[in-house]
Chains A and B, each alone.
Chain A
Amino acid sequence: MTWLLVMIGAAVGAPLRYLTDQRVRARYATPIPGGTFLVNVVGSLALGLLTGAALAGAAGSRWQALLGTGLCGALTTYSTFSYETLHLAETHHRRLAVANVVATLLVGLAAAFAGAALGRALWG
């Protein structure tokens, strides 16, 4: 059952990531992988919120499987982030590669911290 919830969440999260990336690319012609950045930040914020809610007892394990492990887990990605960074570095965009890592880590973590704080405040 839990397994199924994870799959359902992921079956929504992964296409959302794909669509976001496509949209961002369509709008901005830049080598910066903004779509991946965006989904990672939004997913971290959402998972932070959910975790805050879960700690407060407001989100049970099923919600965590569906929205956390499934949706947020599949919405965000480390493999694409890494590969895009490598690609930047190998195509003479080394500074952008470094910036991509720094920005993703900083903003992604800030989003997770903010989401968790908000979750605790709302449901704690």
Chain B
Amino acid sequence: MPDPHHPTTDGPDPEPSPAPDSGPAPDPHPAPDPHPDWGSVSGLGPGVAPDTDRPGAAGARAAAPGAPPPAEPPPPVAPHGARAAGEPAPLPPFLGRPRAGTRWRVLAVVAAGGALGASARYGAGLLWPTEPDAFPWTTLGVNVVGCALIGVFLVVLQEAWQAPPLVRPFVATGVLGGFTTFSTYAVDVERLVHDGEVTTALGYLALTPLAALTAVWGAAAGTDRLLAGRRAPA
């Protein structure tokens, strides 16, 4: 979403000036690891906010006033996939409140993405309508596809693509968050039970989380492998 006031920037928070890194205590990481862990990623919503202060940037800024670098030595250059095997990741950091302008822009892209995602879900419902007492395949499909896509997207973002800061809130929080839905799932279960379709209700109740979790896990792991294969020496 272009902002007429900042025609030249591609994100809410142009990278902070490189100055912080040249402080009295030279940063041991030549480039602060932009992907310290999945924590910041999982915070889809909030993780997003931090685009203002992506973990790396925040760390650099915090250290700016001359604070020594974090005590623990930098992890050995983490090979991708390391997270799976890896050390317990730090909790998702809460990174201060974004600047006002940034905040509005993040909200705007989340709203736009949400509108797009919900439209797609609505369109799917029109294309593949579900009879009132039937198994809600369309909603199940939407949720599973959305879960697979978020798995792919966030791993790519994590490991292979330094996207502009607004990309994650737009796609993950907005489009995919708006595309998938929990409330329709829950209310459909209720409706099926209320209509006496208890077996269908129970099947739907159990199948959705199983399929959704399998989808997100499979998509994330598959993407991780693909990216690993690409990077491995031939």
Is A bound to B?
yes
Please tell me if A58 contacts chain B, counting CB pairs below 8 Å: no
Given contacts A80-B177, A83-B216, A84-B44, contact A90 B117 (CB under 8 A): no
- Is the Cβ of B42 less than 8 Å from the Cβ of A33? yes
Closest to A5 in B: B122
| Interface SS of A by simple majority | helix
**A: interface residue count bin:** 35 or more
From residue 159 to 203 of chain B, which have CB atoms closer than 8 A to chain A?
A: 169, 172-174, 176-187, 189-191, 193-194
Given contacts A14-B115, A15-B111, A29-B91, contact A87 B186 (CB under 8 A): no
Given contacts A21-B45, A78-B143, A80-B150, contact A86 B209 (CB under 8 A): no
Please tell me if B43 contacts chain A, counting CB pairs below 8 Å: yes
Please tell me if A22 contacts chain B, counting CB pairs below 8 Å: yes
> Which residues of chain A come closer than 8 Å to B186, judged between CB atoms?
40, 44, 47-48, 108-109, 111-112
Residue in contact with A22 in the complex, picked from B49, B122, B182, B190, CB distance below 8 Å: B49
> Which residues of chain B come closer than 8 Å to A88, judged between CB atoms?
42
> Which residues of chain B come closer than 8 Å to A116, judged between CB atoms?
187, 190-191, 194
Closest to B37 in A: A91
Residue-wise, chain A 59-99 has the 8 Å CB interface mask toward B (1 for contact) of: 00000010011101111111111111111101110000000
- Cβ distance A38 to chain B, nearest Cβ, rounded Å: 11
What is the CA–CA distance of A5 and B14 in the complex, to the nearest angstrom?
Answer: 35
Between A29, A65, A92, A112, the greatest number of chain B beta carbons within 10 A of the residue's beta carbon is seen for A112
> Which residues of chain B come closer than 8 Å to A18, judged between CB atoms?
45-46, 48-49, 106-107, 110, 169, 173
Closest to A107 in B: B186
> Which residues of chain A come closer than 8 Å to B20, judged between CB atoms?
none
Residue in contact with B183 in the complex, picked from A6, A26, A35, A72, CB distance below 8 Å: A72
- Is the Cβ of A11 less than 8 Å from the Cβ of B115? yes
Closest to B121 in A: A73
> Which residues of chain A come closer than 8 Å to B172, judged between CB atoms?
79-80
